[in-house]
């Protein structure tokens, strides 16, 4: 979590860092701060949103050409001015920002307190900056040497950027387990947790790897590993455009990203799917078909919304490929002792490609001989680099904290994977393969048509905006959609919501049903249709309020439900790509009706790079 921005060059650093932090606010917005280096290092930090930093009117904000900034998602210590970053060492010479968690900070803090160090905050970060100071002082070492030594003792994940009094033309950064991008300019450099604060100034970037130090001046970037050996920087070209991270006339990023889905899915399919020719190309799968075709089983590892995409993929892969699939929460998988070995395929799903639990989980599986395939959105991310192979979703930047277009991008890639593997194994017929290719090619247009009816969803949202609880029910491919719909509503509106398989309703949740409980059924026409009609009747018999997402022209459920939302008829394997859209819109419109900040829900951050 947390967002980091830094600048060194000849421009005024303050507005660059401030704008960058606003673009990274989706990563955390409990508090924020900036430190600027002019004649000396000056620091300003406040609890609350990044906009609070605009109150800093010191002269240094007009003259300093070097600085570091941070927007925080609280881990150690509550949101407060004192706990906000940057943090300064006891001697006042070192100033540091940090993204991550130092797991052994308590023992380090005790060690430092015994030496007389005083602490102003509750953070692990203040412990780290003083630990570096202590090493530098007692060993008469340079800052670079002290950082290298400190990080060998630190347990946890981190990206740090450090400034030192007396060295106005240098920043030192390091990473392990959290992302860091360096933008290469002409006589200037930009550092950030992702590329969004950088693209306005340069498209040439370096993605720093784990256990690397970066020593940055105005004219040079030098990389070294923790063994002090030089590392050759690999400069890449960004394919992101500035317009992609702006609201573009929408009230919120979430709404913009929901309505971008026809285009993001078209981008996902571009160069891969040719419906008229009946061709599907997916290089990451094709180059490793033997690993998939011979797999004893496939284990999908993910968190949150990506886990729901994995559940849909379980249905897809087992249906089309006849390979056993398990879907694991990465946070649980990494701490179990799972039976993984050669012949197993691990599919890691992550929007950011930096999800801490997923990263550790696939590292563990890789050590045990499994084949790792990454499905990520962010190009150059850690998961994409650690995987043996993978596929990008090409959904474009997703700024809203609640994932929308990333989810449908993941489903699209996973569907193509299942189709390709099934064809290779011969577990689906040529006719079925061609049918699915044509169906998939029609999805962007069906998504566009579904979104065109958004005002109907708004009407439903306004009707139920004051609800205290919600139940989401679905069966088959639409069961994970029910889970995802419930998650979105919780995230965006703070309404308690639960998702269940519709048939499991009778095993407990039906006790909650009364005239005040809205129950949303994902009830498109598929193999489970008759069963879910029966489930709807059971809810109506108990006076529950039924909202149904149905296939266009469905008059049967229309006669039962209190409210219906129609979506285009779609093959049941691909139905989640359209049936999920009304749940995204419903969550958005309910959140807005309740007066909430839908882009930045409380206590949440976009990219979970810490445990």
Among 2, 268, 303, 321, which one carries the catalytic annotation?
2
Among 22, 45, 545, 606, which one carries the catalytic annotation?
606
Three-state SS at 477: helix
Q: How many CB atoms lie under 10 A from the CB of residue 326?
A: 14
Which residues are CB-neighbours of 188 under 8 A, at least 6 positions away?
7, 8, 9, 10, 11, 201, 218
Q: How far apart are CA 171 and CA 86, in angstroms?
A: 14
Q: How far apart are CA 123 and CA 114, in angstroms?
A: 18
Edge-first strand order for the sheet with 171-176 is 87-88, 94-102, 156-164, 171-176, 212-216, 221-225, 230-231
Q: How far apart are CA 77 and CA 100, in angstroms?
A: 13
Q: How far apart are CA 307 and CA 480, in angstroms?
A: 9
User: Which among 109, 130, 43, 121 is positioned nearest to 80, based on CA atoms?
Assistant: 121
Angle subtended by helix axes 443-451 and 261-269, to nearest 10: 170
Structure-block tokens of residue 338: 């799972």
Query: Are 356 and 334 a contacting pair, CB within 8 Å?
Result: no
The upper half-sphere exposure of residue 531, i.e. CA atoms within 13 Å in the direction of its Cβ, equals: 15
Q: How far apart are CA 48 and CA 334, in angstroms?
A: 33
Q: How far apart are CA 175 and CA 159, in angstroms?
A: 4
Output 195-198 pairs: Cβ under 8 A, ≥24 positions apart: 195/238, 195/240, 196/20, 196/23, 196/24, 196/240, 196/245, 196/397, 196/399, 197/5, 197/16, 197/19, 197/20, 197/21, 197/23, 197/24, 198/20, 198/238
Three-state SS at 547: strand
Output 19-23 pairs: Cβ under 8 A, ≥24 positions apart: 19/197, 19/200, 20/69, 20/190, 20/192, 20/196, 20/197, 20/198, 21/50, 21/53, 21/69, 21/70, 21/71, 21/197, 22/50, 22/51, 23/196, 23/197, 23/245, 23/399
User: Which among 93, 76, 197 is positioned nearest to 143, based on CA atoms?
Assistant: 93
Query: Are 393 and 413 a contacting pair, CB within 8 Å?
Result: yes
User: Which among 98, 92, 157 is positioned nearest to 125, based on CA atoms?
Assistant: 98
For this structure, is 43 an active site residue?
no
User: Which among 489, 502, 569 is positioned nearest to 536, based on CA atoms?
Assistant: 502
Query: Are 234 and 206 a contacting pair, CB within 8 Å?
Result: yes
Query: Are 603 and 472 a contacting pair, CB within 8 Å?
Result: no
Q: How far apart are CA 518 and CA 586, in angstroms?
A: 12
User: Which among 385, 388, 437 is positioned nearest to 281, based on CA atoms?
Assistant: 437
For this structure, is 606 an active site residue?
yes
- The burial of 246, by beta-carbon neighbours within 10 Å (0-12 exposed, 13-18 middle, 19 or more buried), is given as middle
Query: Are 565 and 464 a contacting pair, CB within 8 Å?
Result: no
Which amino acids are annotated catalytic? 2, 606
């Amino acid at each position: 979590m947390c967002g980091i921005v830094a600048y060194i060059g000849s421009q005024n650093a303050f507005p660059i860092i401030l704008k960058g932090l606003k673009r990274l606010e989706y990563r955390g917005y409990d508090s924020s701060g900036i430190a600027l280096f002019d004649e000396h290092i000056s620091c300003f930090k406040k609890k609350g949103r990044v906009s609070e930093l605009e109150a800093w009117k010191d002269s240094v904000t007009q003259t300093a050409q070097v600085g570091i900034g941070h927007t925080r998602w609280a881990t150690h210590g509550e949101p407060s001015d004192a706990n906000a970053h940057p943090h300064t060492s006891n001697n006042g010479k070192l100033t540091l920002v940090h993204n991550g968690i130092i797991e052994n900070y308590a023992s380090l803090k005790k060690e430092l307190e015994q030496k007389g160090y005083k602490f102003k905050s509750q953070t692990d970060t203040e412990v780290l900056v003083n630990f570096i100071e202590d090493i530098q002082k007692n060993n008469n070492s340079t800052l670079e040497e002290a950082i290298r030594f400190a990080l060998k003792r630190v347990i946890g994940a981190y990206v740090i950027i450090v400034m030192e009094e007396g060295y106005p033309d240098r920043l030192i950064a390091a990473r392990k387990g959290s992302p860091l991008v360096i933008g290469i300019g002409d006589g200037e450099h930009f550092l950030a947790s992702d590329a969004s604060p950088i693209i306005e100034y340069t498209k040439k970037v370096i993605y720093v790897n784990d256990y690397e130090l970066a020593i940055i001046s105005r004219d040079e970037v030098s990389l070294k590993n923790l063994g002090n050996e030089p590392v050759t920087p690999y400069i890449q070209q960004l394919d992101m455009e500035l317009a992609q991270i702006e609201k573009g006339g929408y009230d919120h990023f979430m709404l913009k990203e929901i309505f971008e889905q026809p285009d993001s899915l078209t981008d996902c399919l571009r160069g891969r799917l040719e419906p008229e020719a009946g061709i599907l190309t997916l290089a990451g799968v094709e180059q490793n078909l033997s690993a998939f075709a011979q797999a004893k089983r496939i284990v999908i590892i993910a968190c949150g919304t990506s886990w729901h995409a994995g559940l849909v993929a379980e249905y897809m892969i087992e249906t089309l490929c006849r390979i056993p699939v398990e879907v694991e929460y990465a946070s649980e998988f990494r701490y179990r002792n799972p039976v993984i070995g050669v012949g197993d395929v691990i599919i890691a799903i992550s929007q950011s490609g930096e999800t801490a639990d997923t990263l550790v989980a696939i590292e563990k599986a890789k050590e045990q001989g499994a084949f790792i395939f990454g499905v990520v959105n962010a190009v150059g991310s850690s998961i994409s680099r650690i995987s043996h192979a993978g596929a990008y979703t090409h959904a474009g930047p997703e700024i809203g904290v609640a994932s929308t277009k990333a989810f449908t991008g993941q489903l699209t890639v996973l569907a193509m994977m299942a189709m390709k593997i099934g064809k290779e194994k011969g577990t689906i017929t040529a006719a079925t393969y061609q049918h699915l290719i044509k169906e998939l090619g029609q999805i962007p247009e069906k998504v566009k048509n579904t979104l065109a009816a958004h005002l109907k969803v708004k009407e439903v949202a306004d009707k139920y905006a004051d609800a205290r609880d919600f139940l989401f029910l679905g069966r088959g491919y639409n069961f994970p959609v029910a889970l995802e719909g419930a998650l979105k509503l919780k995230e965006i509106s703070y309404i308690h919501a639960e998702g269940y398989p519709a048939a499991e309703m009778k095993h407990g949740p039906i006790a909650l049903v009364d005239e005040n409980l809205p129950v949303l059924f994902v009830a498109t026409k598929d193999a489970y249709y008759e069963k879910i009609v029966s489930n709807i009747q059971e809810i109506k018999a108990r006076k529950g309020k039924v909202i149904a997402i149905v296939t266009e022209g469905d008059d049967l459920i229309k006669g039962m439900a209190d409210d219906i939302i129609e979506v285009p008829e779609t093959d049941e394997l691909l139905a989640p790509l359209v049936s999920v859209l009304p749940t995204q819109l419903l969550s958005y419109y309910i959140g807005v009706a309740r007066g909430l900040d839908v882009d930045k829900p409380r206590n949440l951050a976009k990219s979970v790079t810490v445990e």
